[in-house]
Structure 1
Amino acid sequence: MSFTVLVPARLASTRLPRKALADLGGLPMVVRVAQRCALSGASAVVVATDSEEIRAACAAHGVRALMTRADHPTGSDRLAEACVQLGLDGRDIVVNVQGDEPLIEPGLIDACAGLLAQRSDCVMSTAAHALDDVEEYGNPNVVKVVTDAVGRALYFSRAPLPWWRDGYASGVLALPDPAPLRHIGIYGYSAGFLRRFPSLPESPLERIESLEQLRVLWHGERIAVHLSAVRPGPGIDTPEDLERVRRHFG
């Protein structure tokens, strides 16, 4: 199985400006992410950016980077342009790893690519793990997913999902059994679908939840979900996250 990892990276970030170039143990974060991705079975790891600074930082450390337009509304639109530049199409597999995940598990990348290769009924794959923390279950920044009998996503939400009616009878939020699933923000795509994605109209559910993957379900496409036995390493969204991950790199 051959697949390509694409890492979207830009300098603009509301909560943590210029985080793609934040120093992690002497290397920019985007380079750390690409190095982790290179430990997977990917045939190529490519950063897709709209920043000459990011491109230059990648080049200085032997990481391939493509310049893409600055006006893309979403990361998926940026990756669609990268697919065109790379000549990827049809059932070629692309895995999208976010540029703020320097502790991404290479095995998780392989699992997403492998699952999509097995599922001709799905245009995308993603991952989830079981929640064991009731505060995360109720946290709108923690996205939940529910699946059907064969492991395809039925819905993603920021709300507690599924809602345990009887468990909330006393007015206190509790974890249902079986455990709810936390969505992990990694995606596998067929390159053909990724190139088509920008032409799909935005869905009302996507606007309400601010979850781009709901556009895929709204238009009748399927997403396969890999169930991971382990919680992924922390991503970086805030200065506090950055300091926590910096300690990992000494």
Structure 2
Amino acid sequence: MAQVIAMIPARLQSSRLPEKLLLSETGKPLLQHTWEAASRAGCFERVIVATDSERIAEAVREFGGEVEMTGEHASGTDRIAEVARRLDLPTDAVVVNVQGDEPELDPSQLDLLVETLRSRPDAQMATLATPIESAEDRDSPSCVKVVMTQDGTALYFSRAMIPFVRDEEPDELLKANSPWKLHIGVYAYRADFLLKLADASPSPLEQLEKLEQLRALELGGRIVVAEVRHPAIGIDTAEDYARFARRVRYQREGEGE
């Protein structure tokens, strides 16, 4: 069976919440929570943090994680591709890009992601989506939508409301079986396609929408999408982190710690 590795691209600076991956009000760095969640998935042989920050690398070593140093990169994809190339992974190896600021991700969703790619030898990538149930998310350009074929292959990703509804009231459709799917930004790649993607220049549609996954589609790649009920909650702002810290505290109190 093909080797499966999780990689967490981690950079120190963040525009909205500086050094967020090292915030430790919970008693652990935020990054450690994500690493532990990924490590609970049953599909991974290794969970590697890829970073260009010695401070992050030191934190990872302190909590017992595996870390690989990289150069500076514009995207997490480029960062994990550098590590994949250095490890000289078999072409059929599976590399999963796990976002470091999602400490409450569900390990079972990572297992589903990997199994989805394994079950589709015609696909080069797999990702996740969840139904959109609010008009705010449906209409927001910050919430990326995906449309798929009947077998779950991605047709297109967009910040626009796709599919567009011509003859019905969109809000009424939200109450029944919502046709809109929110893309969840976690990816499983076949190792050879990951390197191909990183070596390619930004594509025209990618540059318009500012969505890197469109480069994969424009290169002729096939992305298969698995549907889950709930996305992980990302930490983008100080308020997000404060709410996360409160949830951790309440959980510990409930467990009698």
What TM-score, normalized by structure 2, do the two folds share? 0.91
Map of 2:222 onto structure 1: 222
Structure 1 residue 236 corresponds to structure 2 residue 235 = yes
What TM-score, normalized by structure 1, do the two folds share? 0.94
Map of 2:211 onto structure 1: 211
Indicate conservation of the 8 Å contact 2:122/2:222, yes or no.
Answer: yes
Q: Which moved more, 1:106-115 or 1:78-87?
A: 78-87
Q: Take 2:148 and 2:204, find their aligned partners in 1: how far apart are those partners?
A: 21
* Structure 1, unaligned runs of 5 or more: none
Structure 1 residue 232: deviation in Å? Answer: 1.9
Indicate conservation of the 8 Å contact 2:132/2:178, yes or no.
Answer: no
Indicate conservation of the 8 Å contact 2:116/2:224, yes or no.
Answer: yes
Q: Take 2:173 and 2:75, find their aligned partners in 1: how far apart are those partners?
A: 33
Q: Take 2:79 and 2:140, find their aligned partners in 1: how far apart are those partners?
A: 29
Map of 1:102 onto structure 2: 103
Map of 1:179 onto structure 2: 179
Aligned in 2, Cα 1:125/1:24: closer, same or farther, shift over 3 Å?
A: farther
Q: Take 1:87 and 1:45, find their aligned partners in 2: how far apart are those partners?
A: 16
Structure 1 residue 201: deviation in Å? Answer: 2.1
Structure 1 residue 116: deviation in Å? Answer: 0.7
- Cα distance per residue 1:99-151 (max 9 Å; x no partner): 10000000011111111111111110000011111111111111110001211
Instruction: Write the letter of the residue equivalent to 1:130.
Output: P
Aligned in 2, Cα 1:107/1:24: closer, same or farther, shift over 3 Å?
A: farther
Give the SS at the match of 2:34.
helix
Alignment of 1:107-118 (within 5 A): 107-118=108-119
- Cα distance per residue 1:76-99 (max 9 Å; x no partner): 010101102222130101111101
Aligned in 2, Cα 1:204/1:24: closer, same or farther, shift over 3 Å?
A: farther
Map of 2:53 onto structure 1: 51
Map of 1:16 onto structure 2: 17
Map of 1:78 onto structure 2: 79
Structure 1 residue 24: deviation in Å? Answer: 4.6
Indicate conservation of the 8 Å contact 2:6/2:98, yes or no.
Answer: yes
CA RMSD of aligned residues (A): 1.4
Give the SS at the match of 1:224.
strand
Alignment of 1:154-169 (within 5 A): 154-168=155-169
* Structure 2, unaligned runs of 5 or more: 250-257
